[in-house]
Structure 1
């Protein structure tokens, strides 16, 4: 009987077929799997056919319907393993198949595909263009270095003709093999060959550095070496699971770097994964939970935590999909919730009830009362930040500790007399809040961490998503939830998406990740055009690495090498004289996405800085006959309507098309939330950076299309992308 493997390209095409055609594909696959290889060649129904004009002699096609054909790659190593790579209308399928060439990457040992006809045409064009160029993009790397990293003769020739990174982008997959393109992307971003080897080749399991010393790989081995793009069907149940209507690529395919961190056999302590938006950090966290459920002991409970309740709900649903029916019972061993919810539960169980969480307006009014009672020169914002970022961040309990503490991240110097006076104000705030049986969320975490240290750990493993926004008090809760041991904590996050002031030194909190950190750089969500446009918003901004509370702890975090293989339209940015004009254009943009691009309303999002504009957008869309719902109302996947949210609420979400509205000078940066430079120059820069990151987060929620708009004066945060 023949064995069958499916490529991710085929599965993506399959998901876009009409339901009746998918049924026919299912039937053809099942018939294929039931036949012997000789029967396949003799079958008049499937009609396994070799194409005379195909560039790859292993290409075959089979009949799906009278008008559709599927394209397969036949084995040439004596095995019966066929690879299903494409499905399309008859003429389109034949045209596609004749241009493709499959090969084995010499370094990654995986199977790859190229559009060989298109590459030959580009090579002719590039030769003429490059003749007059004073320098070439990869002139600093020898042919030997490129071949050691997996480039074959054709790709070495083409790399020599690239003058700029834009030339390289022309060769992007599906024209050029993905693995070879990724190597050139990293080199063009300034990474050394050694860095590229460690980042891209080692995760594939390659140990032989020199190309001439490597042994050839068979067709079957190449397929097994490509788990990020190919899945072998092990049986009827597996086939049905893969082809199910709720198929999600992340459940089946992982990039080698993702797989290496998610299915690591055992970390000696806390481990950390970072990466820009869309690089699959959350996917890696979910797969890590799956691995720990299978290999971490039958009675070991797991805490999977994130920043908001909405994101926790999404994680719970995604984990259920990943585990499936076969492993569904394992979900009972996982608590999926926020750190604040864990803290409140710990306090309730220990004391019978927990203090009432203090809202932001209530906290501000409390600071106003306390400040008036003490008649101090510091404003409410300064007092709140001092309490949160110094006292609660360091777990300070006594005036002596406060007098001795190092106030890192605070630019205003305080002498002993000032600190003593300030301590009395901070203590008065605590007493005022406690008298109403209330507490800030950070206070709740501070209290819960103390209880957990007394009672002992509650979990065997803790997995943390959106780690960049957690406060030190929240980290102390998580640290106390699990004993220091192998595989105790697995953290994922992106410091470029840090929209809250949450600088923290993990090492000082007993969460050392040195030597157990990895970075993801391949973006699966955004087009390269959206990615580059959004990344430019952070140009010139030093981003402190995750887990380090000061840039002095190490070099700033960068997005070098961060890229996407997807391409599309360049984002638009437009200004208007009034809000009414901006909303009118917004309606036209949404209609264009729905009517011309065929995007479903639920795949479109509009976000703004504050709820006032969010409400105005919802009302305007509905008035124009476009269904719209607020993200804060948690609309289910079956609820139609454009999703509308604040920028903060967009964290962790993604949509095909996103409109970011109201990006005006009075809103970003929002002056009331920016500490004046004369009050605290360090905090001033931190607050400004959070505004840049917030806009970056909002823009990177878009997969295919991004439209940014404003009325009145444009936000200066847009200056790097709007000249």
Structure 2
């Protein structure tokens, strides 16, 4: 006898309370060990179109839904008594006639007549997206036969609703086609459960341990399985550096992971660098690799590391150990050099000029500094002014060298020159996640490391989430992705409501300094949810009480703990978030606490629910940052970065989003509304 668990069961289980989940898991174990256990009180679902659906008793109200046929049992759903029977009555399990994949299909006739009628009415008003597609094409996308005509009626207003009623692979293909991408026809499989689409919907459990693992851990399907629209970027060969871009939740990290795994699998001599910008995200990438590469020998061909730490280690191996200069070391050296040269200049400008121009681009001498285009800098400067400043920068570099210190940028540039000179390179390929925040020296280093090799460099990022660097032309740093930059358009993580409102924080089109463009139009989410709650309060105390009540409402539906985050702009606002958390814990006597983080530290994370608090007028955009601006161009750059920060915070939410401020609130909240 085979026993499988469907992703629909996992999704339904997650919506039950903690006590209900425990009881359901116990019943699931009983069903696997002995399907004829009389304690399960099995009942056939008499009104189901599929005669193989049964329910099993969990407790007085909760029921498992199982599909039993030919010695095979599928754990399909779980929920309250009436909901369980209604779910089974509206579905059947089929083998798709074209793809051969096992599917859970919603019976079209059970969808409310008013919805079907609306599809037809809307089709009269707006163009039908798939009217010209023949049966064979739609079937190759995984659309069930009895849904073909309804799919052809889909318009831009109804396609999301229709897709939500289809088997997931068919719904994803429809949304991909609606965004202008042509879905790849699904392969044919002889075994319905071995088809790639079925393999990501149904998990075979052969032992009690298998079932326990399936029940205890979320499947995180998006971190393991690829939509065909993503798979193209994993499998495609590029003759130079390539990049995939897309808004939050479109699966860029998934593509990066699979790309690294593919390169490691196909070449025994490969040594792949998988990198990102902070250690927490690097640890997350490393933790997911075993799901993609069970074979440790293959997995060992991938090194997951933060670029800064990697550069420090490589520099020590090549040139010998050395101290890394801190920002304070640099600031002190600049201040002294300016005083010695009697150069009167704003300290902030001096530090930025060193970091963004002189150190970033490894400017070698006075002539190079005088003639260098102002890459990444918005302030113009006369040649005579550059001459005066060069003495300061040259003295600063000499002072750091005299102290036995190197900046991280100097280490990266030294390594780049070393590898460009013909030295043996430690990696054959590099895959970079969160690439929108890569620095000039890091890009120089990567270009020397693998930029001249086919498939050597691959970047994944979102221009809308760039918060740690100013824009600069990648080509000037030795990496040209023009013609090899692609966009992802299907959002897997964030509800349509949260995604569409968060996108209002950004322009319709975002353009890099080298002309590469990311258009935010045409993106669709795979699921619906409640609209974001965007509220302003007369004072901070009122906001704290309201957020605590919102957390209590979430706890009532068993959304709490690590599934919830309170995000604020900076450490200054942390006390307000903690006050809301403490009040919530007092009101509910809960032991599991929601997370409290600053916005930039939440990059790469996701939660079922997020409250973005303290969005006051002087908080975002941060008032002290605006006061540091030296010209209008710098103000514009700061405002763009602050918008990106709020966008990052809002798009950490999958299902529920709360955004609030007190007193005079941020102007950005108007855009969200």
TM-score by length of 2: 0.83
Counterparts of 2:47 and 2:631, CA distance in 1:
74
Counterparts of 1:377 and 1:118, CA distance in 2:
77
Counterparts of 1:470 and 1:652, CA distance in 2:
15
Question: Aligned residue for 1:402?
Answer: 369
The one of 588, 591, 602 aligned to 1:650: 602
Q: Is the 8 A contact 1:411 1:680 kept in 2?
A: no
Which consecutive residues of structure 1, in runs of 5 or more, have no partner in the other structure?
33-39, 207-216, 628-638
Q: 1:367 to 1:533 in 2, by over 3 A?
A: farther
Q: CA deviation at 1:287?
A: 3.4
Q: Is the 8 A contact 2:40 2:57 kept in 1?
A: yes
Residues 411-466 of structure 1: per-residue CA shift (max 9 Å, x gap)? 33334333323333333343444455445443443344344545431123322221
Q: Is the 8 A contact 1:371 1:380 kept in 2?
A: no
Q: Is the 8 A contact 2:193 2:202 kept in 1?
A: no
Question: Aligned residue for 1:21?
Answer: 24
Q: Is the 8 A contact 2:27 2:40 kept in 1?
A: no
Question: Aligned residue for 2:65?
Answer: 70
* RMSD after superposition: 4.1
SS at match of 1:649: helix
The one of 274, 279, 282 aligned to 1:304: 274
Q: Is the 8 A contact 1:472 1:502 kept in 2?
A: no
Question: Aligned residue for 1:37?
Answer: none
Q: 1:128 to 1:468 in 2, by over 3 A?
A: closer
SS at match of 1:561: coil
Question: Aligned residue for 1:339?
Answer: 307
Confirm whether residue 584 of structure 1 aligns to residue 545 of structure 2: yes
Q: 1:23 to 1:590 in 2, by over 3 A?
A: closer
Q: CA deviation at 1:651?
A: 0.9
The one of 65, 88, 91 aligned to 1:100: 91
Residues 49-73 of structure 1: per-residue CA shift (max 9 Å, x gap)? 875533456x533757687443338
Question: Aligned residue for 2:648?
Answer: 697
Question: Aligned residue for 1:246?
Answer: 217
SS at match of 1:196: coil
Q: Where in structure 2 are the equivalents of 1:320-359 lying within 5 Å?
A: 320=290, 323=293, 327-328=295-296, 332-359=300-327
Q: Where in structure 2 are the equivalents of 1:165-244 lying within 5 Å?
A: 165=157, 167-171=158-162, 173=164, 175-179=165-169, 181-182=171-172, 185=175, 191=179, 195-197=180-182, 201-202=183-184, 204-205=185-186, 220=191, 224-227=195-198, 229-231=200-202, 233=204, 236=207, 239-240=210-211, 243=214
Q: Where in structure 2 are the equivalents of 1:454-533 lying within 5 Å?
A: 454=421, 455-482=423-450, 484-513=452-481, 517-533=485-501
Counterparts of 2:69 and 2:548, CA distance in 1:
50
Residues 463-491 of structure 1: per-residue CA shift (max 9 Å, x gap)? 22211101020122233444743443332
Question: Aligned residue for 2:48?
Answer: 54
Counterparts of 1:169 and 1:687, CA distance in 2:
36
Question: Aligned residue for 1:667?
Answer: 619
Confirm whether residue 274 of structure 1 aligns to residue 245 of structure 2: yes
Q: 1:593 to 1:116 in 2, by over 3 A?
A: same
Q: 1:519 to 1:184 in 2, by over 3 A?
A: same
Q: Is the 8 A contact 1:303 1:463 kept in 2?
A: yes
Residues 129-169 of structure 1: per-residue CA shift (max 9 Å, x gap)? 65xx9x6232476444798455678656556776773x545
Counterparts of 1:689 and 1:225, CA distance in 2:
42
SS at match of 2:125: coil
Residues 188-222 of structure 1: per-residue CA shift (max 9 Å, x gap)? 6xx4xxx331xxx12x457xxxxxxxxxx678458
Residues 512-561 of structure 1: per-residue CA shift (max 9 Å, x gap)? 54565543333232222211121111145x422xxx533xx24x202223
Residues 264-288 of structure 1: per-residue CA shift (max 9 Å, x gap)? 3865554433222222322333334
Counterparts of 2:77 and 2:584, CA distance in 1:
41
Counterparts of 1:715 and 1:566, CA distance in 2:
29
Counterparts of 1:154 and 1:529, CA distance in 2:
29
Counterparts of 1:171 and 1:141, CA distance in 2:
12
Question: Aligned residue for 1:600?
Answer: 560
Question: Aligned residue for 2:636?
Answer: 685
Which consecutive residues of structure 2, in runs of 5 or more, have no partner in the other structure?
none
Q: 1:719 to 1:604 in 2, by over 3 A?
A: same
Q: Is the 8 A contact 1:137 1:160 kept in 2?
A: no
Bigger CA drift: 5-14 or 367-376?
367-376
Q: CA deviation at 1:653?
A: 1.2
Q: 1:344 to 1:584 in 2, by over 3 A?
A: same
Q: Where in structure 2 are the equivalents of 1:106-121 lying within 5 Å?
A: 111=103, 113-114=105-106, 116-121=108-113
Q: CA deviation at 1:128?
A: 8.8
Counterparts of 2:48 and 2:303, CA distance in 1:
53
TM-score by length of 1: 0.78
Q: 1:377 to 1:129 in 2, by over 3 A?
A: farther
SS at match of 1:138: coil
Q: CA deviation at 1:498?
A: 0.8
Q: CA deviation at 1:579?
A: 3.1
SS at match of 2:519: coil
Q: Where in structure 2 are the equivalents of 1:540-619 lying within 5 Å?
A: 540=508, 542-544=509-511, 548-550=512-514, 553-554=515-516, 556-594=517-555, 596-618=556-578
Confirm whether residue 384 of structure 1 aligns to residue 351 of structure 2: yes
Counterparts of 1:182 and 1:350, CA distance in 2:
48
Question: Aligned residue for 1:10?
Answer: 9
Q: Give the length in aligned residue pairs.
A: 659
SS at match of 2:111: helix
SS at match of 1:18: helix
Question: Aligned residue for 1:633?
Answer: none
